Amino acid sequence: MALKETISYSDGVKGWPSFYSYLPDYMLGMNSFLYTFNNGQLYRHNTNTIRNQYYGENFTSTITSVFNVEPQTIKLFKTMSFESDDAWSCVSLSTEMSAGNMLNTYFEEKESEWFSFIRNDENLVNFKLRSANGIGDNINVLAGPGTPPTYEIFFNVDIGSILSIGDTLYYQATPTSSRIVGVVSSISLSLKKVAVTTVVNIPTIGDYIFFYKNPVSESHGARGYYMRFKLENDNVNAVELFSVGSNVMKSYP
């Protein structure tokens, strides 16, 4: 079924400034009030104390926009902030290279402004991003203790300090494909050993091992020419949103 919505036209801007989720049978502006009919019932808008409710059904307020400063420059969008009297959820954000979302609980209020580092989508894996880093060929794979079972993967090279608990380990299955091993549960730099839980595939000795940083906890930001975002709020009280911003820097590959 096709999505339906009501759009409004403004003579002042000679355009269509907004969209509405409610679907009236007829609407009319009179005496500074908006009146609509739905299923034969007459409604006067902006008179009840419950916001985001139309014809007895609750909806959410959504705002979709884009950051596009210096459109010919590849940028790194590090943060999102907005001036509002309530926290909003960023239900989607996307560039040409990445996508993500941020719950309203991710935002912290600082000096009357809500602020959060940009989190990527935990289900999106892009090995072209800096979240992907290599370790080296493994020299041994042993089944470890515990339930669910763990596996310990050994190396003859230094693991380095970039790998963290919670990152996802992969191995190179073919020259053009990779397979997930599991989630890193512990790291021993002295023994050059990584323990993995939630094991999906077990690598063999000599496989090249690499990892992908946890996209939610690691705040690398979103890289691209522009960033499209959608904010959502389901508060039943009056909420004001004054501005939305982002800390942006030029991306240096």
The closest of 101, 103, 216, 105 to 164, measured between CA atoms, is 216
Tens digits of residue pLDDT in 35-44:
999 999 999 9
For residue 38, the one-letter residue type is N
Quote the pLDDT of residue 35.
94
CA distance 24 to 123: 38
Mean pLDDT confidence for 59-79 = 91
Q: Say if residues 213 and 135 touch (Cβ distance below 8 Å).
A: no
Tens digits of residue pLDDT in 7-28:
888 888 899 988 888 899 998 8
Class of domain 132-212: mainly beta
Tens digits of residue pLDDT in 188-228:
999 999 999 988 999 999 999 999 988 777 667 788 899 99
Question: Looking at the domain that runs over 62-123+219-250, which CATH code has it been given?
Answer: 2.60.120
Query: Which of 169 and 122 is assigned the larger pLDDT?
Result: 169
Quote the pLDDT of residue 127.
84
Same fold for the pair 62-123+219-250 and 132-212: no
Tens digits of residue pLDDT in 83-109:
999 989 998 889 988 777 788 888 998
Quote the pLDDT of residue 3.
61
How far is residue 202 from each of residues 41, 177, 199, 207, measured CA to CA in Å? 64, 15, 7, 10
CA distance 188 to 177: 28
The strand order across the sheet containing 227-233 reads: 61-67, 227-233, 89-94, 99-102
Q: Where are the domains of the chain?
A: 6-58, 62-123+219-250, 132-212
Quote the pLDDT of residue 226.
94
Is the model's pLDDT at 178 over the cut of 90?
Answer: yes
Tell me the helices (H) and strands (E) count for the chain, helix number first: 0, 24
Beta bridge partners, 165, equal none
Q: What is the pTM of this model?
A: 0.69
